[in-house]
Chain A
Amino acid sequence: MRVAIIGAGVIGLSTALCIHEQYHSLVPSLEMEVYADRYTPHTTSDGAAGLWQPYLSDHGNLQETLWNKETFDYLLGHLGSPAAKEMGLFLISGYNLFTQPVPDPSWKNIVLGFRNLTPKELELFPGYSYGWFNTALMLECRSYLPWLTNRLTQRGVKFFHKKVDSFQEVSGDMFARGVDVVINCTGVRAGELQPDPELQPGRGQVIKVLAPWVKHFVITHDVQSGIYNSPYVIPGSEFTVLGGIYQHGNWSEENSARDHKTIWDNCCRLLPSLQKAKIVQEWSGLRPARPCVRLERETVRQGHFQAEVIHNYGHGGFGITIHWGCAMAAARLFGSILQEKLASLPQPRL
């Protein structure tokens, strides 16, 4: 049985691993291939700081909240393991800041030690009158994606550097034997495979600096400007990421001088010690924004070709936060495809 995963960001690679871990022993003939035109360190995931934190409100989308929790618990369980360092996984504490009181977030009981900020803590952040403190996780993709790649390679999964232009391309007659299941983890460019007007780029820009004295994440929120359009500072294991840009509908992956100034000025005002930070890199990327994650099956037909497609894209700015819950859900969909295939054949040849 041949399975093709399109996309090698955090979603593609984790979904591949999740499915392979769960079904390889059930399907000895399972052949898995990853197709992508971009691999780490050039994926959207690589640009993210890697902080586990969902948006402030799940807009009643309990499914996504559950997937977020599943991811957090899964990662927390790996914290004490020897793999943690190689995965780029570690605990981090920090601040969320607001200019007015806000309701507690859906994830308050998922993270550790969630509480409101005290007046003395708020003195650190003039202009902000309310906030939260909690301990969460960092999962740095510059380590996590190579770690996933190694696990997959060990399992015999093959990687191809190729831009896939259509589902037919992997499933159709151009291959000796077609692929049975396609997992669509193409992120922001999923619309090129199949039009999806709900999927839009949420352009972000970040400045990576050396500021190893910063030990906390600091994320500000401006209800007017919307998510990620207010400065944030997220310290990683080597670099600290400064950000605060979210431009809906902007496809440009070029760094903007104006955005640089916005980020730099705002972050230095937020944390004056950053004035002495050394700038190392600038990066722009496109969050695959969608009103909700597209995680569903679809049978794609054209002419005499047919393939089962599992869509898993549209994770916006919370891909790392939700990835494992989605990978598990995709694996369940794969399981049901498998069951149908077994049921439909008198002598299953898998």
Chain B
Amino acid sequence: MAAPKVAVVGAGVIGLSTALCIVETYPSCSVTVLSDQFSPNTTSDVAAGMLIPHTYPGTPIHTQKQWFKETFTYLFAISNSAEASEAGIHLVSGWQVFKNTPKEELPFWSDVVLGFRPMSEAELQKFPQHQFGQAFTTLKCDCPPYLLWLEKRLKATGVQMYTRKVADLWELHSEYNVVVNCAGIGAHQLVGDEKLFPVRGQVLKVHAPWVKNFIRVGDGLTYIYPGIHRVTLGGTRERESWSLSPDPGTTKDIFDRCCSLEPSLRGAQDIEVKVGLRPSRQCVRLQKEVLSQGGVKLLVVHNYGHGAGGFSVHRGTAKEAAHLVGECIAALQGSSSRAKL
């Protein structure tokens, strides 16, 4: 068999990081990225990129923790290197505050982030309506820089990237041996996944460079995440809303909620409003599938449905997807001995 040809559909953080993992693990593969959108127009570009995991009800906790740990370790090394600024990766400390003490005081990821501990009384005084809080240090992936950095690394290994709207995975069966589906919210239409639904998020990206700490309310609806050049203020969680148009009433609401947490934001400048549709699902769809049509087979690896937690687990799921791609290629090469890739 000639060099296996792999198509990755989707160029958000999941598509690009999966493509990179495939190329790193199986250098003899020819990998092509196909997407109708590239940075700065992907869902990932709207997200703040904070490494604070979302909990998937349908995935075992130890798996989610493994994905998060792998992602955190990978980005931690980049943040402490000369590449950090180009990759858009940096450490950020802050607080997660709760109006009432949560049932679960120790989230599963508390020992993966740095310095996790309950907030002191003195710290809580800064958040008068909140009774409980946690302080920790985590990482942030700024987009577009992170996506552009991934694209640069992919190009350096010879990966081709094309703007192309794939309407049906079968379009690709004659050109590619394996198709990796990282279409995010696009998978709803692409593979007809009814279990995938959008959770609309509107955010503001503002200029407020004196804000150095993050603040997040435990319910996940209100947050202030300082990035390299902009601070992301959020947000909303609107299930089943497909609208990508910013809503002015929502903008005011987000701004007011964030200013009540951090009054100095009243002085923020250059407010930019963005909307993204979180590709939400009970669990991340990370599995192989063999599609059949008229005697022809198409090997697919799905890696989508990361909802609100894409950045937090991206590297972990990318590695697992790459491993599944390896299994597909081995199956294709049909040898009983270990496939030499």
Contact = CB atoms under 8 A, between A and B. Distances in A.
Interface stretch (A19-27, A61-69, A259-267, A272-280): A272-280
B115 A90 contact: no
Contact of A273 (B84, B135, B229): B84
Contacts of A211: 85
Given A112-B120, A273-B80, A79 B126 contact: yes
Contacts of B119: 113
Interface residues of B, number: 38
A81 interface: yes
B114 interface: yes
Contacts of B88: 213
B296 interface: no
Interface stretch (A96-104, A115-123, A145-153, A196-204): A115-123
A85 interface: yes
Interface string A186-220: 00000000000000000000000001111110000
A276 B263 contact: no
Contacts of B212: 90-93, 215-216, 235
B90 A92 contact: no
Interface string A169-197: 00000000000000000000000000000
B210 A82 contact: no
B190 interface: no
A90 B210 contact: yes
A211 B79 CA distance: 13
Given A91-B212, A215-B226, A273-B85, A133 B115 contact: yes
A118 B80 contact: no
Contacts of B91: 124, 215-216
Interface in B255-304: 263-264, 266-267
Interface in A113-138: 113, 115, 117-118, 120-121, 124, 133, 135, 138
Contacts of A238: 209
Given A84-B264, A273-B79, A276-B82, A115 B117 contact: yes
Contacts of A113: 117, 119-120, 122-123, 135
Contacts of A271: 80
B126 A276 contact: no
A127 to B, nearest CB: 13
A80 interface: yes
A237 interface: yes
Contacts, number: 101
Nearest to A239: B209
Nearest to B119: A113
A117 B210 contact: no
Name A's interface SS: mixed
B268 to A, nearest CB: 9
Contact of A117 (B94, B115, B211, B264): B115
A113 B94 CA distance: 11
Contacts of A85: 210, 264, 267
A11 B50 CA distance: 40
A171 B114 CA distance: 59
Nearest to A86: B267
B213 A213 contact: no
B86 interface: yes
A331 to B, nearest CB: 27
A91 B126 CA distance: 11
A272 B90 contact: no
Contacts of A212: 209, 228-229
A275 B93 CA distance: 22
Contacts of A90: 210-212, 264
B29 interface: no
Contacts of B39: none
B310 to A, nearest CB: 21
A80 B264 CA distance: 7
Contacts of A82: 263, 266-267
B267 A120 contact: no
B83 to A, nearest CB: 8
* 7 interchain residue pairs of minimum CB distance: A273-B84, A85-B267, A90-B210, A213-B90, A237-B210, A93-B93, A275-B82
30 contacts: A79-B263, A85-B264, A90-B212, A91-B212, A93-B93, A93-B212, A93-B213, A113-B120, A113-B123, A113-B135, A117-B115, A124-B80, A133-B93, A133-B115, A135-B213, A138-B210, A213-B84, A213-B85, A213-B89, A213-B142, A215-B91, A216-B212, A272-B81, A272-B82, A273-B81, A273-B82, A273-B83, A273-B85, A275-B82, A276-B85
Interface of B: 79-86, 88-94, 114-115, 117, 119-120, 122-123, 126, 135, 137, 142, 209-213, 226, 228-229, 263-264, 266-267
Interface of A: 79-82, 84-85, 88, 90-93, 112-113, 115, 117-118, 120-121, 124, 133, 135, 138, 211-216, 235, 237-238, 271-273, 275-277
Given A272-B82, A277-B85, 8 more contacts: A85-B210, A121-B115, A212-B209, A213-B89, A215-B90, A215-B92, A215-B93, A273-B80
